[in-house]
Chain A
Amino acid sequence: MEPVNNEVTERQAVRVMRPESPRQAVSFAKRFRAPYIAGGTWLQPSCERDRQWPVHLVALNPDWPGFRGIQETEDGLSIGALTTLDELARHPLTALYLPPLSGLINRVAGPGVRHLGTVGGNLLAGGDLSALALALGTEVDVVEGKGSNRRPLARWFQDRPASDLLRSVTVPDCRGWGVSVEKLGYRERFSPTRATVACVHAGLQVQLAVCGEGGPGRLMVTEAMLRDEGIRELTDLAIVVDSELETLGWHDTRLRLAVRRMLESGLMEVTRGA
Chain B
Amino acid sequence: MAHENSPGGVGNLVTLDGDSIRNATSGMDLAQRIEGRLAYATDQRDLSGLLYGAILRSACAHALITRVDISKALEMPGVHAVIKANDVPGLNCFGIVIRDQPVFCDERVRYEGDAIAAVAADTPEQARAALDAIEVDYQPLPVVSDAALAEQQTALHNSHEKHGGSNLLARETLECGDLDDAFSRCAVIVEHHYQTPRQMHAFMETEGGVAIPDGKGGVLFRVGCQSGHRDAEQLADILGVAHEQVTVESTVTGGAFGGKDELTVQPAAGLLALKTGRPVMIHLDRFESCRTGMKRHPVSVKMTTGCDAEGRLLAHKAEAILDTGAYASLGPAVLENYLDHATAPLYRIEAYRVSGRLVYTNNGVCGAFRGFGGNQATFAVESQLDELAHGLGIEPAALRRINLRSPGDAGSRNQTVRWTAPPAGVLAAAVASPLWSRPDTDTGRWLTGTGMAMGAQGNGLGDGLPDSGGGRISLSPAGRICVEFGFSDYGQNIVESIIRSVCNGVGCREADVEVLLGSSRGPDSGPTSASRSTVLVHGVLASILPRWMDVVRGHASRVSGHPEEGLAFGPGGVFFNGRQVLSYRELAESASPDEMAASASQDFPVAPDSGQPVGRYLQLQIATVARVAVDRLTGRVRVTDLHHVTAAGRVIYPPGYLGQIEGAAVMGQGMALTEDMTTRDGSYLADNLDQYLIPTFHDAPLQRVDVLDDTPEDDPFPVRGVGELGIEAVAPAITAAIEAATGVRVRRLPVDPGDLLVAMAAKEQTL
Q: Which residues of A contact B (CB under 8 A)?
A: 10, 12, 45, 48-49, 110, 182, 184, 186-192, 252, 254-255, 257-258, 261-262, 265
Q: Are A255 and B693 in contact (CB under 8 A)?
A: no
Chain B residues lying within 8 Å of A252, measured Cβ to Cβ, are 754
Look across to chain A and name the residue whose beta carbon is closest to the beta carbon of B286: A48
Q: How far is B674's CA from A189's CA once the two chains are assembled, in angstroms? A: 12
Q: Which residues of B contact A (CB under 8 A)?
A: 125, 129, 287, 445, 632-636, 638, 673-674, 687-688, 690, 693, 695-699, 753-755, 757-758, 761
Chain B residues lying within 8 Å of A188, measured Cβ to Cβ, are 638, 696, 698-699
Q: Are B690 and A192 in contact (CB under 8 A)?
A: yes
Q: Are A254 and B757 in contact (CB under 8 A)?
A: yes
Q: How far is B634's CA from A182's CA once the two chains are assembled, in angstroms? A: 11
Q: Are B632 and A261 in contact (CB under 8 A)?
A: yes
Q: Are B696 and A258 in contact (CB under 8 A)?
A: no
Residue from the set A186, A189, A252, A255 with the largest chain B CB neighbour count within 10 Å: A186
Extra 17 A-B pairs, beta carbons < 8 Å, given A258-B753, A261-B634, A265-B633: A12-B125, A48-B287, A49-B687, A49-B688, A186-B693, A187-B674, A187-B699, A189-B696, A189-B698, A192-B690, A254-B755, A254-B757, A257-B754, A258-B633, A258-B634, A258-B635, A258-B754
Q: List 16 A-B contacts (CB under 8 A).
A: A45-B688, A45-B690, A49-B687, A184-B634, A184-B636, A186-B674, A186-B693, A188-B638, A188-B699, A190-B696, A191-B693, A252-B754, A258-B753, A258-B754, A261-B634, A265-B445
B123 to chain A: closest CB distance in Å? 10
Q: Are A187 and B696 in contact (CB under 8 A)?
A: yes
Look across to chain A and name the residue whose beta carbon is closest to the beta carbon of B758: A254
Q: How far is B755's CA from A258's CA once the two chains are assembled, in angstroms? A: 11
Chain A residues lying within 8 Å of B699, measured Cβ to Cβ, are 187-189
Look across to chain B and name the residue whose beta carbon is closest to the beta carbon of A195: B634
Chain A residues lying within 8 Å of B638, measured Cβ to Cβ, are 188
With A49-B287, A186-B693, A189-B696 as known contacts, state yes or no: A258 contacts B757, CB within 8 Å. yes
Q: How far is B758's CA from A45's CA once the two chains are assembled, in angstroms? A: 34
Chain A residues lying within 8 Å of B674, measured Cβ to Cβ, are 186-187
Q: Are B125 and A254 in contact (CB under 8 A)?
A: no
Chain B residues lying within 8 Å of A258, measured Cβ to Cβ, are 633-635, 753-754, 757
Lowest 4 A-B CB distances belong to which pairs? A254-B754, A261-B633, A188-B698, A189-B698
Chain B residues lying within 8 Å of A182, measured Cβ to Cβ, are 633
Chain A residues lying within 8 Å of B754, measured Cβ to Cβ, are 252, 254-255, 257-258
B131 to chain A: closest CB distance in Å? 10
A73 to chain B: closest CB distance in Å? 35
Chain A residues lying within 8 Å of B287, measured Cβ to Cβ, are 48-49
Chain A residues lying within 8 Å of B696, measured Cβ to Cβ, are 110, 187-190
Q: How far is B699's CA from A255's CA once the two chains are assembled, in angstroms? A: 21
Partner of A257 from the list B129, B695, B757 (CB cut-off 8 Å) is: B757
Q: Are B445 and A10 in contact (CB under 8 A)?
A: no
Chain A residues lying within 8 Å of B688, measured Cβ to Cβ, are 45, 49
Q: Is the interface of B mostly helix, strand, loop or mixed?
A: loop
Number of A-B residue pairs at CB separation under 8 A:
59
Chain A residues lying within 8 Å of B635, measured Cβ to Cβ, are 254, 258
Q: Are B634 and A262 in contact (CB under 8 A)?
A: yes
Q: Are A10 and B125 in contact (CB under 8 A)?
A: yes
With A45-B690, A186-B693 as known contacts, state yes or no: A262 contacts B125, CB within 8 Å. no
Q: How far is B690's CA from A45's CA once the two chains are assembled, in angstroms? A: 9
A189 to chain B: closest CB distance in Å? 4
Look across to chain B and name the residue whose beta carbon is closest to the beta carbon of A182: B633
With A10-B129, A258-B633, A258-B634 as known contacts, state yes or no: A187 contacts B757, CB within 8 Å. no
Chain A residues lying within 8 Å of B693, measured Cβ to Cβ, are 186-187, 191
Chain A residues lying within 8 Å of B633, measured Cβ to Cβ, are 182, 258, 261-262, 265
Q: How far is B445's CA from A182's CA once the two chains are assembled, in angstroms? A: 13
Chain B residues lying within 8 Å of A265, measured Cβ to Cβ, are 445, 633
A135 to chain B: closest CB distance in Å? 17
Look across to chain B and name the residue whose beta carbon is closest to the beta carbon of A189: B698
Q: Are B761 and A257 in contact (CB under 8 A)?
A: yes
Q: Are A257 and B758 in contact (CB under 8 A)?
A: yes
Residue from the set B287, B633, B755 with the largest chain A CB neighbour count within 10 Å: B633
B757 to chain A: closest CB distance in Å? 6
Look across to chain B and name the residue whose beta carbon is closest to the beta carbon of A265: B633
A51 to chain B: closest CB distance in Å? 8
B395 to chain A: closest CB distance in Å? 31
Q: How far is B445's CA from A258's CA once the two chains are assembled, in angstroms? A: 13
Look across to chain B and name the residue whose beta carbon is closest to the beta carbon of A184: B634
Q: How far is B635's CA from A53's CA once the two chains are assembled, in angstroms? A: 39
Q: How far is B696's CA from A110's CA once the two chains are assembled, in angstroms? A: 10
Chain A residues lying within 8 Å of B690, measured Cβ to Cβ, are 45, 192
A89 to chain B: closest CB distance in Å? 15
Chain B residues lying within 8 Å of A184, measured Cβ to Cβ, are 634, 636, 753
Look across to chain B and name the residue whose beta carbon is closest to the beta carbon of A258: B634
Q: How far is B631's CA from A265's CA once the two chains are assembled, in angstroms? A: 12
Chain B residues lying within 8 Å of A189, measured Cβ to Cβ, are 696-699
Chain A residues lying within 8 Å of B761, measured Cβ to Cβ, are 257
A268 to chain B: closest CB distance in Å? 11
A185 to chain B: closest CB distance in Å? 8
Q: How far is B693's CA from A192's CA once the two chains are assembled, in angstroms? A: 10
A68 to chain B: closest CB distance in Å? 26
Chain B residues lying within 8 Å of A45, measured Cβ to Cβ, are 688, 690
Q: How far is B636's CA from A75's CA once the two chains are assembled, in angstroms? A: 38
B755 to chain A: closest CB distance in Å? 7
Residue from the set A49, A187, A265 with the largest chain B CB neighbour count within 10 Å: A187
B64 to chain A: closest CB distance in Å? 26
Q: How far is B686's CA from A186's CA once the two chains are assembled, in angstroms? A: 14
Q: How far is B633's CA from A190's CA once the two chains are assembled, in angstroms? A: 21
Chain B residues lying within 8 Å of A191, measured Cβ to Cβ, are 693
Q: How far is B129's CA from A60's CA once the two chains are assembled, in angstroms? A: 30
Look across to chain B and name the residue whose beta carbon is closest to the beta carbon of A257: B757
Look across to chain A and name the residue whose beta carbon is closest to the beta carbon of B688: A49
Q: How far is B125's CA from A257's CA once the two chains are assembled, in angstroms? A: 47
Look across to chain B and name the residue whose beta carbon is closest to the beta carbon of A110: B696
Look across to chain A and name the residue whose beta carbon is closest to the beta carbon of B634: A258
Q: How far is B317's CA from A104's CA once the two chains are assembled, in angstroms? A: 49
Chain B residues lying within 8 Å of A257, measured Cβ to Cβ, are 754, 757-758, 761
Chain B residues lying within 8 Å of A48, measured Cβ to Cβ, are 287
Q: How far is B634's CA from A49's CA once the two chains are assembled, in angstroms? A: 30
Look across to chain B and name the residue whose beta carbon is closest to the beta carbon of A263: B633
B303 to chain A: closest CB distance in Å? 27
B456 to chain A: closest CB distance in Å? 30
Chain B residues lying within 8 Å of A110, measured Cβ to Cβ, are 696
Chain A residues lying within 8 Å of B757, measured Cβ to Cβ, are 254, 257-258, 261
B272 to chain A: closest CB distance in Å? 22
A199 to chain B: closest CB distance in Å? 13
Q: How far is B688's CA from A189's CA once the two chains are assembled, in angstroms? A: 16
Chain A residues lying within 8 Å of B634, measured Cβ to Cβ, are 184, 258, 261-262
Chain A residues lying within 8 Å of B445, measured Cβ to Cβ, are 265
B306 to chain A: closest CB distance in Å? 34
A211 to chain B: closest CB distance in Å? 15
Q: How far is B445's CA from A45's CA once the two chains are assembled, in angstroms? A: 36
